[in-house]
Structure 1
Amino acid sequence: MRAARFHGPGDIRIDDVPDPQVQPGQVEVSVDWCGICGTDLHEFLEGPIFIPPKGAPHPLTGVEMPVVLGHEFAGVVSAVGSGVTGISEGDRVAVEPYWVCGKCPACEAGRYNICRSLGFVGLAGDQGGFAERCVVDRRWIHPLGDLPTDLGALVEPLAVGYHAVRLSGIREGGTAAVFGAGPIGLVTAAALRAAGAAKVIVVEPAAARKAKASGAGADVVLDPTTDDAPQAIRDLTNGVGVDVAFECAGIDAVLASAIGSVRPGGTVCNVAIWGHVPSVAVNDLVMGEVNLIGSLAYCGDHPDVIALLQDGKVDAEQFITGRIGLDALVSGGFRELIDNKEENVKILVSPKEVLA
């Protein structure tokens, strides 16, 4: 079958690879759509980061680069292994793209997303969504019901925002600011709205992304190039500051603004994956007793996100800004998102169809 594999920075190839083999307890998914993630772009430009380099195979998969890419995907079940229940061939499904050890303290505590040996399907092995088919363990398969698989491919990024909102501890009727209206910032805003936040403020300089923020759930959109975001946020919250701020940009100055925007004793939730070691004014945390927490991916969040989509509480269709075939992955996908990031949110890739 055909699959896109990472061979090194800037080197992604469409290779012929062996068909995956379904083992007991596993499910094969015929991939319909796979989204391009910001993590994929970081790997393309600066990797390997999460991808295991040559000579250092991943401890769970035993695989080193080249690896099959793609972790935001959905499709139709094409085969099931012995012992699999609750899933049948022909079912539409989304995949929670993990490899975990099941034995470390995090796994034993049910927080498998911070497993000490964590690996992502599509980053750490020979399975991924930028391939015609993918095999994963049954536990990672989530039925979509009647949801179409293009929306199913958005369940993974939506789960990132949903998990961050849940982890932040924001209550119904609370206030929040989201810094960065890229894909993760937009889905975080959507998750906040679905969670019952009373006021959602989005901070973003790019015109195209600002235009999408209101549809994602923002009540107010601020431009940090013209607005003093922390002061404006305090003005919008009766001088108090928001309960929670979400850093979705991975920029030092943005993190500082997020810290300056929360109320005393408030929380800053970092959702971004950083490409560098940030500089943080820790005294700003100390003087306001601000909680700074990190949020990684998702853990048990996929069923709730699918329910939100099924109930129409999140309009995910608005986030799809392009559809391409596998052969256009780099030129029409990665390069488009890098060179015209302000114009795009989520580009979906079909591994099976020839699309422009």
Structure 2
Amino acid sequence: MAPQELSNGINGSSKPSLMKAVRFHGKGDLRLENIPEPHVGPSQVKLKPAWVGICGTDLHEYLGGPNLCPTTPHPITREKVPVTFGHELSGVVEEVGEGVNDLRPGDRVCVQPIIYDGTCGACEAGLVNCCYSNGFIGLSGWGGGFSEHMVIPRDAVYKLPDNVSLEVGALIEPLAVGWHAVKIAQLPPPPTAITALILGGGPIGLSMIQSLRAHSPNHTIIVSEPSPRRAELAASFGATHVLSPLTTNIPATVRKLSPGGWGAHVAFDCAGVQAGLDAAVESVRAEGKIVNVAIWEKPPRIDANSLCFKERTYMGVATYRKGDFAAVIDAVSQGLITPEAMISKRVEGLEGVLDGGFKSLIEERDRLVKVLIRANDVGE
């Protein structure tokens, strides 16, 4: 059996128990349905989801997909749309399968949703986030957080310390994206200070700020963000300067704000728009790095000469690797990251996922950052 092979089969009953789940059927089509309740197997954990965040990827799938959600059987899960949504989540352990000895019912946890085969070259190299057959719990099958119950591999479950709430537990996933991007950029260790530019002040951009600050308090962090509300949050989370790309020449201003006027050492593109990428490239100094964190709706245009003539590096980030979740949880527990202010709205119940969650984010995207859904009342 491959490390993440999973069977969410039901028991032998001819009339299986049913549960509620929010299922994605296609563009603009989310439905609250009754589906069979999964049963735990060996090396698996059954959870009752608590708080679940709506990710930008979820919005992209709803507005224009399916893109990442499989329309033919996924090579690992063997599932295709409709699939249960929700990959940013916390929950409470309900039951553990044979071979799981380090978790017990009642434990408070969060979920690292990467699905990987464990056998390809990337996985053998420890790069499970780059698995050649990869997918995500809550997008590619194996259930999702917008449900009454879910069953996932033990390796996907991380226990939360007592001083980390279930609400914050649902933020560990986007925080881990920022944490991993900082690691990939291979910044110099403290006390060396660098100038970093972040394009976009949404959930991932705010996660980038917090991860940079947790790694070093000395960095100059410049954020490009047009939304006044998100700009305020960027400043509150530790951005040194927040600029509006609508009124500011970003490359020229970044150069003025950097030592010697040479530009940023690194730019993290968390926006995924052409104008932002162009600004990022021109804002970075010679031998600087542009780190792509965003998922693009359309392929971008890259001016290779702008990279070559200044020996700049353009690199991608694929979510997070093993170890990143544990590091973020530890940083939150120690108070190095305090992300509660990212939560803009809380919605009670699976019935509110569409109107209170997705539609609110679409209609109020400039005002809302992270919307959390309470999938189940677990007593916290």
TM range (shorter): over 0.9
Deviations 1:311-353, CA, capped at 9 Å, x for gaps: 1111110100111121111111111111211101100011125
Query: Which residue of the other structure, out of 149, 155, 158, is the alignment partner of 1:133?
Result: 149
Which one of the candidate residues 293, 303, 324 is aligned to 1:271? 293
Q: Which residue of 1 aligns with 2:16?
A: none
Which of 146, 163, 175 is 2:195 aligned to?
175
Q: Which residue matches 1:228?
A: 249
3-state secondary structure, aligned to 2:100: coil
Residue 317 (str. 1) matches residue 348 (str. 2): no
Q: Do the aligned partners of 1:185 and 1:248 also contact (CA within 8 Å) in 2?
A: yes
Whether 2:369 is the aligned partner of 1:348: answer no
Secondary structure, counterpart of 1:49 in structure 2 = coil
Q: Is the 8 A contact 2:48 2:148 kept in 1?
A: yes
1:75 has 2:91 as partner: yes
Q: Quick check: 4-13 or 193-202, which moved more?
A: 193-202
1:152-191 map, 5 Å: 152-171=169-188, 172=190, 173-191=193-211
1:303 aligns with 2:326: yes
* Partner Cα separation in structure 1 for residue 331 and residue 297 of structure 2: 32
| Contact 1:187–1:216, Cα closer than 8 Å, also in 2 | no
* Residue 11 of structure 2: aligned partner: none
Partner of 1:123: 139
Residues 1:243 and 2:259 aligned together: no
1:203 pairs with 2:221: no
**Which residue type is aligned with residue 23 of structure 1?**
G
Distance 1:332 1:279 in 2: 36
Which residue among 98, 107, 112 is the counterpart of 2:128? 112
Question: What's the offset of the Cα at 1:126?
Answer: 4.0
TM-score normalised by length of structure 2: 0.91
Partner of 1:257: 279
Amino acid in the other structure paired with 1:224: P
- The alignment's TM-score, normalised by the length of structure 1, stands at 0.97
Q: Give, in whole Å, the separation in 2 of the partners of 1:50 and 1:85.
A: 34
**Cα distance, 1:279 vs structure 2:** 1.3
Which residue, out of 37, 43, 48, partners 1:25? 43
Structure 1: which 5+ residue stretches go unaligned?
A: none
Aligned-partner Cα distance in 1 for 2:336–2:361: 27
Equivalent-residue separation in structure 2 for 1:126 and 1:159 (angstroms): 21
| Contact preservation (8 Å) 2:44, 2:97 | yes
Q: Per-residue displacement from partner, 1:47-96 (whole Å, max 9, x unpaired)?
A: 1111011xx11010110110000000011111000100211111111110
SS where residue 288 of structure 1 aligns?
A: coil
